Amino acid sequence: DVVLTQSPLSLPVTLGQPASISCRSGQSLLHGDGNTYLSWFHQRPGQSPRRLFYEVSKRDSGVPLRFSGSGSGTDFTLRISGVEAEDVGLYYCMQGAYWPQTFGQGTKLEIK
Amino acid sequence: EVQLVESGGGLVQPGGSLRLSCAASGFIFSDHFMDWVRQAPGKGLEWLGRSRNNRDGYIIEYAASVRGRFTISRDNSKNSLYLQMNSLKTEDTAMYYCARDGDLAYWGQGTLVTVSS
């Protein structure tokens, strides 16, 4: 199975400051069809996960513009330009280029 | 509006069985892949399996960790997805989510399964 390694695993951030989460894959996530199947999810405490981005940087409806997804091949990044209180929780990356799809370990974002 | 509502969770003894349901609405159910994902308490997300869509003949796929014990099915007339879980182990204790599409665009609220004596 493809291993996704997220860092950091814990991310304390001051309100209004930027934040960045890395997701590194053991193999390139560039599929033979030309797409790169890397998604990002956010899970607030006590809630189900919500997808933020698919195919690296395609934003889901309603995702604030302060969030951005980038990367290629094996290295991917989720950025928040200025953290707000509602951004706390767990962030997961997921790859869908290889079967079975796999998730990163999760990164816990908290407010300092 | 896409809605996914899981049900059927509860407390079950090791070795027991449980059937989870996922009721879908707001979209053409048969056109979409439907997946099951679980999350053990305090742990990360684990993909369990999926039912492909009508174009792919509703092929079922399983993660190695549950193949042979869990069975996924769907009833397109009822817009419902199911997860039959047999020979349950304490390590199957988790919140179980259904999600739409291979890239998990939409998720239900989850149903909690506790396997304990």
pLDDT at B32: 97
* H helix or E strand, kind and range, residue B108: none
Check CB contact under 8 Å for A48 and B105: no
Mean pLDDT of B50-73: 96
Mean pLDDT of A15-29: 97
User: In chain B, pLDDT over 90 holds for what percent of residues?
Assistant: 97
Residue A108 pLDDT greater than 90, yes or no? yes
- In chain B, which residues have their Cβ closer than 8 Å to the Cβ of A103? 44-47
Tell me which residues of chain B have a C-beta less than 8 Å from any C-beta of chain A: 44-47, 61, 63-64, 97, 102-110
Chain B residue with minimum CA distance to A55 = B103
User: How far apart are the CA of A90 and the nearest CA of chain B, in angstroms?
Assistant: 9
pLDDT at B102: 81
pLDDT at B95: 98
- In chain A, which residues have their Cβ closer than 8 Å to the Cβ of B104? 39, 41, 49, 51, 94
pLDDT at B64: 94
Chain B interface disruption, residue of A48, A56, A90, most B CBs within 10 A: A48
Chain B residue with minimum CA distance to A91 = B44
Concatenating the DSSP letter of every residue in B45-112 gives EEEEEEE--GGGTT-EEE-TTTBTTEEEEEEGGGTEEEEEE-S--GGG-EEEEEEETTTT-EE---EE
The rounded distance, in Å, linking the Cα atoms of A95 and A2 is 8
**pLDDT digit string, tens, across residues B12-46:** 999 999 999 999 999 999 999 999 999 999 999 99
Nearest to B97 by CA among B46, B60, B31: B46
Residue pair A41/A59 in contact (Cβ under 8 Å)? The answer is: no
**pLDDT digit string, tens, across residues A41-99:** 999 999 999 999 999 999 999 999 999 999 999 999 999 999 999 999 999 999 999 98
- In chain A, which residues have their Cβ closer than 8 Å to the Cβ of B61? 99-100
The rounded distance, in Å, linking the Cα atoms of A5 and B1 is 34
The rounded distance, in Å, linking the Cα atoms of A76 and A71 is 4
